[in-house]
A and B are shown apart, each in its own frame.
Chain A
Amino acid sequence: MGLEEKLPSGILLTSVEKLVNWSRKSSLWPATFGLACCAIEMMTSGGPRYDLARFGMEVFRASPRQADLMIVAGRVSQKMAPVLRQIYDQMPEPKWVLSMGVCASSGGMFNNYAIVQGVDHVVPVDMYLPGCPPRPEMLIDAILKLHDKIAHEPLGPRRAKALAGQKHELVASSVRFGK
């Protein structure tokens, strides 16, 4: 409170939570999961006119091991669903999923045997973006809303309190599965 007035200029104070969340959202690297037509709009968003590089997201990592955000852009068929799950599992924590377009959000216009009716049957989704396809501006809006969500993510004791009622404990896999 009164501490900041007494410090020399050029020093900012913040909390670890705010700093970590800010660094996570400022450089959120997407994994390429462009499946169908929405992939074209995703590519356009990365292009010069609707630049994603201004948000630090121009590097679409081909390897899921280096990615934070999986943008599921396009319809997921029954044959593709296990592949999608495997790519999601290969991403390290913290990770987020943005289902882009109506086909990824709910099956879209394809209400039939071949298409998974919503990618949330396969992976947990943090942001749903409708549209067929959503314009690049809509994708950027969804990404900014996701940035907002990441910026307000509780960490530390607030997180433990927020997740208190949930079933899984945040135990490191080396501890849970180690001898």
Chain B
Amino acid sequence: MTDPSSGPDSGGALPDQRRPAPTEAGPGVVKRGSFGANGSGDTSGFGGLVRRPWSPAPAERPYGEPFDEVTDALVAAYPGSGEAITKVVVDRGELTFHVRREHLVDLCRTLRDDPGLRFELCSSVSGVDYLGTPDRLHSVYHLTSMTYRRRLRLEVSVSTEDPHVPSVTSVYPTADWQERETYDMFGIVYDGHPALTRILMPDDWDGFPQRKDYPLGGVPVEYKGAMIPPPDERRSYT
């Protein structure tokens, strides 16, 4: 890693592929301040903190060694890949395809079965909430190929008004409980799932806890004579 022949702009010890990609304005809301401190009265400086949402810019061909191979194999094996894949991102040595939900199951079946791709293992199905964008709920699939020792990420975006995504349990049975967890925490409804029920919260729970607009739900605690509010309500001077 410490290559003495590397030039001054090599970015330090990171090999080319692990370098972060250039960024563009990304999905989500601007975050200001810390712990709800806004307006005047906060002299700590935390109120001046502004974090703008960013996401890696779409990647240009050539992507870099293993990703080109995967993309070419996928385009060859899945004829509809032009409309299925909306965006390709190569960032820090990881390949992500943003996929339309209609093509998700067929694409997964191709990724699993094609001899050049062979992504047999669905490592994880999880969710992300980018509050502030129209399609704020993302369902993220991490696929692993054990034959070729490489990984891939698929991302499907849906809105809260129509949070339906086809279920990949017919292709990857391991996604069963993972999709239940994503449904429980984000409210993404997986059509075609054998038994989509809550898995972490009690069965009759209201709301989807890991969405960004769900409150933390803490109680004030008495400590050394004072009532300390829960963490998301502290340091508010307004």
Chain A interface residues toward B at CB < 8 A? 78-79, 82, 106-107, 111-114, 117
Per-residue contact bits, chain B 206-237, to A (CB 8 Å; 1 contact, 0 not): 00010000111111010000000011000000
Q: Which of A79, A82, A111, A114 contacts B219 (CB 8 A)?
A: A111
Q: Given A78-B201, A79-B201, are A113 and B209 neighbors across the interface (CB < 8 Å)? A: yes
The answer to whether B200 touches A111, judged by C-beta atoms less than 8 angstroms apart, is: no
Chain B interface residues toward A at CB < 8 A? 200-202, 205, 209, 214-219, 221, 230-231
The answer to whether B202 touches A113, judged by C-beta atoms less than 8 angstroms apart, is: no
Q: Kindly report which residue of chain A lies nearest to residue B231, judged by CB atoms.
A: A111
Which residues of A lie under 8 Å from residue B205 when comparing CB positions?
A: 78
Which residues of A lie under 8 Å from residue B221 when comparing CB positions?
A: 106-107, 111
The answer to whether B201 touches A112, judged by C-beta atoms less than 8 angstroms apart, is: no
Q: Kindly report which residue of chain B lies nearest to residue A110, judged by CB atoms.
A: B218
CA distance A47 to B199 in the complex (A): 34
CA distance A44 to B218 in the complex (A): 32
Q: Which DSSP category, helix, strand, loop or mixed, fits chain B's interface?
A: loop
Number of A-B residue pairs, CB cutoff 8 Å, is 31
Which residues of A lie under 8 Å from residue B219 when comparing CB positions?
A: 107, 111, 117
Which residues of B lie under 8 Å from residue A107 when comparing CB positions?
A: 219, 221
Which residues of B lie under 8 Å from residue A113 when comparing CB positions?
A: 209, 214-218
**Can you pick out 18 interface pairs between chain A and chain B where the beta carbons lie within 8 Å of each other?**
A78-B202, A78-B205, A79-B200, A82-B202, A106-B221, A111-B218, A111-B219, A111-B230, A112-B217, A112-B230, A113-B214, A113-B215, A113-B218, A114-B200, A114-B201, A114-B209, A114-B217, A117-B219
CA distance A106 to B223 in the complex (A): 12
Which residues of A lie under 8 Å from residue B231 when comparing CB positions?
A: 111
Which residues of B lie under 8 Å from residue A112 when comparing CB positions?
A: 216-218, 230
Q: Kindly report which residue of chain A lies nearest to residue B217, judged by CB atoms.
A: A113
CA distance A112 to B200 in the complex (A): 14
B112 → chain A closest CB, angstroms? 33
Which residues of B lie under 8 Å from residue A106 when comparing CB positions?
A: 221
Which residues of A lie under 8 Å from residue B202 when comparing CB positions?
A: 78-79, 82
CA distance A80 to B143 in the complex (A): 32
